[in-house]
Amino acid sequence: MRILVVEDESKAGDYIKKGLSESGFVVDLARTGSDGRHMALSEDYDLVILDVMLPGMDGWRVMQEIRKTKNTPVLFLTARDAIEDRVKGLELGADDYLVKPFAFAELLARVRTLLRRGPLREEEFIQIADLEIDVLKRRVTRSGKRIELTATEFSLLHLLAARQGEVLSRTLIASQVWDMNFDSDTNVVDVAIRRLRAKVDDPCPHKLIHTARGIGYVIEDRG
């Protein structure tokens, strides 16, 4: 999967490139709007990540130019979170936007969603090592033993399992599980994870739920 990042701020650009490369993407970096437009039009990318504030040619213009000939998905980054800005971006044909500063995990999640193309297929049965989740019957077993979960705990486990291997930020978890769409400075998510671990991981020596310090949580079988 090839991604073009158009970002003039050198530190941010380098780290986005590094982060995405380490997550398995092939990443090209453009430092100016005109470079970005040229690369986006001459090469075939699966996704363009576009900063709005660029020297020379701003992000809106670059996107308009790309949209004239290509349908490459565009995710734009903006430091201004005024509603008009978002609306403008989406009207111009952007597929998603992210307000700076953002968590890298958040960017990665958005990128994966955009590249997945089409809605996420709901799996009815998820297995991670010896953990089995029957989504329809809402039944969870570990090594064949039934685990009783509350509704919230099940939503949390299902969210992590459906995106196994992907680090989910606390904000994303709060928004998906409880529909709390603002940054609260409480440890609600940590507490919920701790309780889930107590039921899912504590009885077993082989742990599945991991903390990505400073980023969020992930469920995966690390052997």
Question: 67: Cβ–Cβ under 8 A, 6 or more apart, which residues?
Answer: 92, 93
Closer Cβ to another protein, 38 or 210, answer by number: 210
Q: Which of 186, 202, 206, 222 binds another protein (CB under 8 A)?
A: 186
d(CA 216, CA 193): 10
Query: Contact region for another protein (CB under 8 A) — 45-53, 110-118, 125-133, 213-221?
Result: 213-221
Q: Is 214 in the site for another protein (CB under 8 A)?
A: yes
Q: Is 148 in the site for another protein (CB under 8 A)?
A: no
CB 65 within 8 A of CB 90: no
Quickly list H helices, the chain: 10-22, 33-42, 59-69, 83-91, 104-116, 151-162, 170-173, 188-200
CB 174, min distance to another protein, A: 8
Site mask, another protein, residues 104-123, x = CB under 8 A? --------------------
d(CA 139, CA 152): 14
Q: Is 184 in the site for another protein (CB under 8 A)?
A: yes
Q: Which of 187, 202, 206, 222 binds another protein (CB under 8 A)?
A: 187
Helix H or strand E encompassing 26: strand 26-30
Give contact residues for another protein (rule: CB under 8 A). Answer: 83, 101, 152, 174, 178-188, 191-192, 194-195, 213-215
